[in-house]
Amino acid sequence: MMIRRAEEKDMAGINRLLCQVLAVHHNGRPDLFQPDAKKYTDNQLKQILSDDARPVFVAADGENVLGYAFCIFQQHIGDNILTDIKTLYIDDLCVDEALRGQHIGKQLYEFVVDFAKNSGCYNVTLNVWACNESAKKFYEKCGLKPQKFGMETIL
């Protein structure tokens, strides 16, 4: 297995995993997430894959995508209250559900952290849905700690 920057040839494998992520979110919050939807159109995904401000990495075994990490560089230059630190935000990290427990996710996460360090980032951040307890536990094992909490009341 190798971890590398995602390419257009990886789109079918990425889309397969995006569907797995959507299923987890739909099962946890069907009031928010539609069933059988696609997070990105193929055109949107192609644009993301070519955008250096939104790097996507894949763990791959030859042509087979085992997992991915969608990332976004963030920085608030000139903000009234926030410092201008450079952050790498993990928008989505997924390992094929049939391959979980083999440390592919940990390797992907560590690759992203090294990439962020080499890119001059101050920190790496991400969000986890409260209904996704297994992802929360995974990130805690990776050493992440809560930065903020999103709260809601359903009307």
Beta strands in 12-149 (DSSP E): 56-61, 64-75, 86-95, 123-126
pLDDT confidence of residue 154: 84
Determine the 3-state secondary structure of 94 from DSSP. strand
Sign of CA dihedral 81, 148, 88, 18: negative
Strand order from edge to edge, sheet including 64-75: 2-5, 56-61, 64-75, 86-95, 123-126
Q: Are 70 and 90 in contact (CB under 8 A)?
A: yes
* pTM (2 d.p.): 0.93
Q: Of 55, 136, 47, which is closest to residue 88 (Cα–Cα)?
A: 55
Q: Which CATH number fits domain 2-141: 2.60.40.1170, 3.40.50.720, 3.30.70.20, 3.40.630.30?
A: 3.40.630.30
Domain boundaries, the chain: 2-141
Cα separation of 17 and 8, whole Å? Answer: 15
Q: What does each of the 155 residues of the chain score in pLDDT, given as a tens digit?
A: 999 999 999 999 999 999 999 999 999 999 999 998 889 999 999 999 999 999 999 999 999 999 999 999 999 999 999 999 999 999 999 999 999 999 999 999 999 999 999 999 999 999 999 999 999 999 999 999 999 989 898 89
